[in-house]
Structures are given as structure tokens and as C-alpha cells.
């Protein structure tokens, strides 16, 4: 990023300290922690197709590697912020344990930040926000941390007077700092690629009765087909001839499971819907 203290090597100790890796024997321990608050694990369940695709990538010459290290080209099972098959968020790690216990923690709901307050010394000193139709302010004695995402962070900064002067002046916003805020956004483009139908030997579609049994198994043990994301657990990073920097991938292969009939009947709805668990599928798509 070019900012002092934000390089890979500067931040690595922080990532190690925050991580509680549940599969440390399967990764490079130099880049992972086991005593932190954020649970990181493999999913507890992988069907046969997961390993078929993992082996196929290896036959093509990709090595199985730990993708959370300095190496970036190869194939692997992904680790996620999860715990025993359930999503594990920063809220689970840091907020829930201290809710209603710390007087200096106040969580405002339905509050929308409109701008950062910046004093005469160009120091962020709080935020302005709207809640229930009222304009309010919250002041800070230390830092103001923006965590509104890759789209809203630049918007808030520009509304605060930090951004390209040519853009701010169009909206009569006072320019406090002329910076190319939001100008280096890289979208994560993708293509669905080819839909591949699986045979009866590899398809994992299930009867309603089997699905009910799987639901009960997951509720009781966090195991079984619902404790995984099928072939989406397999990841591969490759480098094409268009990328010249060593060990820098420019293509990621992902393997989304799908229902072939539903996909061709309504591909948009099928891709967007989450009503059918990924565990049950007879095809895969979105290769790039």
C-alpha cells in the first residue's frame, strides 16, 4: 500500500497473534497462530469430488501449498473463519464476549456515518452520523477507524473533504486534502465458464429424507454434508503468460457446485439463491 507499518512483513505478526488455527499441522506454522481469538479451520466435511479436483490440479503440475504464506501459486483446500462447520466472525471473537460488560463499548444500530470530522490540525476527531432522522456526532480522543468497505470508505472520505479535488468541487465539498481516493479500485471480475454435469457416480444430490437426516446430524454434531461447501473448498492460483512478476498469480480457479437443471432453467436465480445447500449438486461451474 505504500504506507509505513502496513507492509506484509509489518502486519504478519498481528495476523499470527489474532489467529487460532485448528489445523496447524496442515499449514506452515511460521505464518499462522494458535492462541488468538479468530478461529480458522478447514471445513469438517469433504466429499469425493473435492479430492478428485485437488488431484486433477496436481496432475496439471500445481503443487499443494499453504496459500496464506509468501507463496501464491498452487492448489489447496481453503481455510475459512469458521469453527466446527459454522461461520466464525470478528463479532464472535471480539464483540460478543464483552457485550454489556464494558462501559466504553457503545454499539449504535441503524446509524449511518455521513462524514469524518476533521479539526484545524487536519486530525480526525470524530464522525457525523444520522440515526432515526437525527443528525448526531460522536467525538474521538484517539483514532477514528473507517471499516465501511472498499466502496463506502472512499465515499465517506470524499464527503469529509478528502479525495480528488475535481470530484469534490463538483459537489461543493470543501477540499481538505487532494488525494486520489477511490481511484485504484480493482474489481474481482469472474466468468461462469463451462457448466460440467457430473455422473451418477459423483453427483451428490439427495432425497428429501436424506436431507432431513443430514440436517439433524448437523444440528447435533456439526458434521456431515452440511458442514462443508463441496467443491468450493478447492482453490487454485495460476500464472498466465500475461503476468511477468515472479510468483504472482493473475488467475484464480474456483469450483462452484450447482444443480444443472436449475442452472440452465434460470442461471441468474440459481447463482444468487442460497436456499439449496452446496452439499447437494450434480454439476459445477464458474471456473475462473
Cβ pair 190, 271 in contact under 8 A: no
Helix (H, G, I), strand (E, B) or coil at 118: strand
pLDDT of residue 266: 75
pLDDT of residue 273: 64
Categorize the per-residue pLDDT at 144 as very low, low, confident or very high, splitting at 50, 70 and 90.
very high
- Alpha carbon separation from 11 to 17, 31, 60, 94 (Å, rounded): 10, 11, 34, 19
What is the pTM (predicted TM-score) of this model?
A: 0.81
Mean pLDDT of the chain, nearest integer: 90
Residues 101, 195: Cα–Cα separation, whole Å = 51
Backbone angles phi, psi at 130, to 5 degrees: -115, 130
Torsion of CA 13, 19, 21, 24, to 10 degrees: 10
User: What is the mean predicted confidence (pLDDT) over 53-66?
Assistant: 94
Element (H, E) at 192: none
pLDDT of residue 2: 66
Cβ pair 48, 225 in contact under 8 A: no
Categorize the per-residue pLDDT at 184 as very low, low, confident or very high, splitting at 50, 70 and 90.
confident
Domains along the sequence of the chain with CATH: 8-93+189-285 (3.30.560.10), 108-178 (no CATH)
Amino acid at each position: 500500500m505504500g504506507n509505513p507499518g502496513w507492509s506484509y512483513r509489518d502486519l504478519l505478526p498481528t495476523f499470527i497473534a489474532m489467529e487460532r488455527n485448528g489445523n496447524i499441522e496442515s499449514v506452515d506454522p511460521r505464518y499462522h497462530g494458535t492462541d488468538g481469538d479468530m478461529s480458522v479451520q478447514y471445513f469438517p466435511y469433504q466429499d469425493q469430488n473435492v479430492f478428485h479436483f485437488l488431484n486433477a490440479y496436481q496432475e496439471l503440475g500445481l503443487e499443494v501449498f499453504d496459500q496464506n504464506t509468501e507463496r501464491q501459486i498452487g492448489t489447496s483446500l481453503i481455510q475459512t473463519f469458521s469453527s466446527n462447520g459454522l461461520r466464525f466472525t470478528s463479532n464472535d471473537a471480539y464483540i460478543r464476549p464483552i457485550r454489556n460488560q464494558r462501559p466504553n463499548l457503545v454499539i449504535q444500530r441503524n446509524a449511518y456515518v455521513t462524514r469524518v470530522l476533521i479539526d484545524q490540525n487536519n486530525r480526525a476527531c470524530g464522525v457525523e452520523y444520522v440515526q432515526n432522522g437525527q443528525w448526531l456526532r460522536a467525538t474521538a480522543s484517539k483514532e477514528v477507524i473507517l471499516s465501511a468497505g472498499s466502496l463506502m470508505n472512499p465515499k465517506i472520505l470524499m464527503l469529509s473533504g478528502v479525495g480528488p479535488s475535481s470530484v469534490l468541487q463538483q459537489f461543493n465539498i470543501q477540499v481538505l486534502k487532494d488525494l486520489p481516493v477511490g481511484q485504484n479500485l480493482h474489481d474481482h471480475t469472474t466468468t461462469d465458464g463451462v457448466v460440467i454435469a457430473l455422473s451418477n457416480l459423483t453427483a451428490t444430490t439427495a432425497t428429501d429424507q436424506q436431507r432431513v437426516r443430514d440436517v439433524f446430524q448437523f444440528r447435533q454434531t456439526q458434521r456431515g454434508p452440511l458442514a462443508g461447501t463441496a467443491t468450493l473448498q478447492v482453490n487454485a492460483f495460476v500464472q498466465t503468460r500475461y503476468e511477468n512478476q515472479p510468483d504472482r498469480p493473475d488467475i484464480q480457479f474456483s469450483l462452484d457446485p450447482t444443480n444443472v437443471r436449475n442452472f440452465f432453467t434460470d442461471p441468474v436465480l440459481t447463482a444468487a439463491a442460497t436456499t439449496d445447500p452446496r452439499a447437494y449438486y450434480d454439476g459445477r461451474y464458474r471456473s475462473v
